Amino acid sequence: MTVPFATSSRSSVGLEWELMLADTATGDLIPRAPEVLEALEEDSTLERYTVTGELLTNTIELTSGIGDTVAAAVDDIGDAIAAVRTFTDPHGIDLLCAGSHPFAQWYHQTVTDKTRYHKLIERTQWWGRNMMIWGIHVHVGVEDVNKVFPIINALAVYLPHLQALSASSPFWAGERTGYASNRALVFQQLPTAGLPWPLRDWREFEGYLDDMVRTGVMEDASEVRWDIRPAPRWGTIEVRACDGMSTLPELAAIAALVQVLVERFSRLIDEGHRLETIPPWFVRENKWRAARYGLDARLIVDRNGTQRPVADHLRETLAEVGDIAVELRCAREIAGIETILTEGASYARQLAVADAADGDLREVVRHLVGEFRSGPTLREHLAALGH
């Protein structure tokens, strides 16, 4: 099977952000995405952003245009939120984002009426119906198809860092899970989801797709649901490992880190270097550690089995890529990583709210709604930095 990889601008950025729709009075999820989409369809046809449906009717997805910078892509998302609020605010619908809803139950949710979704549920049954998960996807343009899998394999070393920073699903169906990111472990139960296979090059990827299509596992490359995957249609590498983020500055920080890492690896390839990887068994262990412990995880960071606290390794990495961030005009956005490290990721904030409210998870929902609504826009956040 020949799979063309589209032409894209090097290190360009595109973002996808999945949002929950909740009842303002109860905080529970509500199946009103079809109404939201119908109301916005006519007015958004000429915009850079899109607002679309997802597997469940309690979810909408916002997608940016292609940005030369992270700020441009995040601005698109901000514009999309403003448009969505013109319908949701007057109709008693709250917007929020996290990797999971604190107390919603899967059997109360409805599936979007599309053939692809019905086929997914028919095949996956209980696990498919349990996919009450929300995340962000970061696309970064790659100009040469021969770079795609070397970069994906090198990025796998940093998947747990991204997962820990974004971890926001400590509750599941009303239970405290003990995990920072329960979403990470639920999502990998779907066929073709989870960690990428350590393929060496595009030819091996085409062979993988040929095997999967020939045996009826999938219809095309869009059904590859790895934590990092190539997106042939767009000419990008797409990072899908992250839980949903609660605010635009946090979204921008994660996007900037992904953009800078991809560019760093691309430059190393240009200079003739072989990109460093770690064995897949270390990659798998790191994913579990990040899901369980979040920013308190100790990760295996090289082939020798060296273990480092995730926060320490992140700070070292940020120091190494600072010049690239300046060149890509995302230095202020990537500085938000330090804010997450010092002030805590969403999972920690949610747990603190639950503890203060004697375990009342409705208060956690109110907290998430409040963070999403009153959290600064990226423009306001950067203005407050005084730069």
pLDDT tens for each residue of 79-95: 999 999 999 999 999 99
Q: What angle do CA 167, 346, 281 make, to 5 degrees?
A: 15
The predicted model gives 184-195 an average pLDDT of 95
Average pLDDT over all residues of the chain: 94
Residue 256 in contact with residue 262, Cβ under 8 Å? Answer: no
| Per-residue pLDDT, 45 | 75
- Cβ burial 227-248 (10 Å sphere, 16+ → b, else e): bbbbbbebbbbbbbbbbbbbbb
Structure tokens at 214: 């020939």
Tell whether the model's pLDDT for residue 383 goes beyond 70. Answer: no
Distance from C-alpha of 33 to C-alpha of 381, rounded to nearest angstrom: 29
Distance from C-alpha of 266 to C-alpha of 275, rounded to nearest angstrom: 9
199 class by beta-carbon count within 10 Å (0-12 exposed, 13-18 middle, 19+ buried)? middle
216 class by beta-carbon count within 10 Å (0-12 exposed, 13-18 middle, 19+ buried)? exposed
Residue 9 in contact with residue 66, Cβ under 8 Å? Answer: yes
- For the entire predicted model, the pTM comes to 0.95
Q: In sequence order, which residues have a C-beta less than 8 Å from that of residue 344 and are 6 or more positions away?
A: 295, 352
| Per-residue pLDDT, 1 | 77
Q: In sequence order, which residues have a C-beta less than 8 Å from that of residue 82 and are 6 or more positions away?
A: none
| Per-residue pLDDT, 382 | 54
The predicted model gives 364-379 an average pLDDT of 82
Class of domain 13-377: alpha beta
| Per-residue pLDDT, 380 | 56
Q: In sequence order, which residues have a C-beta less than 8 Å from that of residue 312 and are 6 or more positions away?
A: none
pLDDT digits (tens, 9 = 90+) for 135-162: 999 999 999 999 999 999 999 999 999 9
Residue 50 in contact with residue 42, Cβ under 8 Å? Answer: no
| Per-residue pLDDT, 376 | 47
pLDDT digits (tens, 9 = 90+) for 319-340: 999 999 999 999 999 999 999 9
| Per-residue pLDDT, 387 | 44
The predicted model gives 46-61 an average pLDDT of 93
Residue 257 in contact with residue 337, Cβ under 8 Å? Answer: yes
**pLDDT confidence bin for 43, thresholds 50/70/90:** confident
**pLDDT confidence bin for 385, thresholds 50/70/90:** low
**pLDDT confidence bin for 196, thresholds 50/70/90:** very high
Q: What share of the chain is helix, strand, coil (3-state, %, to 5)?
A: 50, 15, 35
Tell whether the model's pLDDT for residue 378 goes beyond 60. Answer: no
Distance from C-alpha of 150 to C-alpha of 152, rounded to nearest angstrom: 6
Distance from C-alpha of 191 to C-alpha of 302, rounded to nearest angstrom: 29
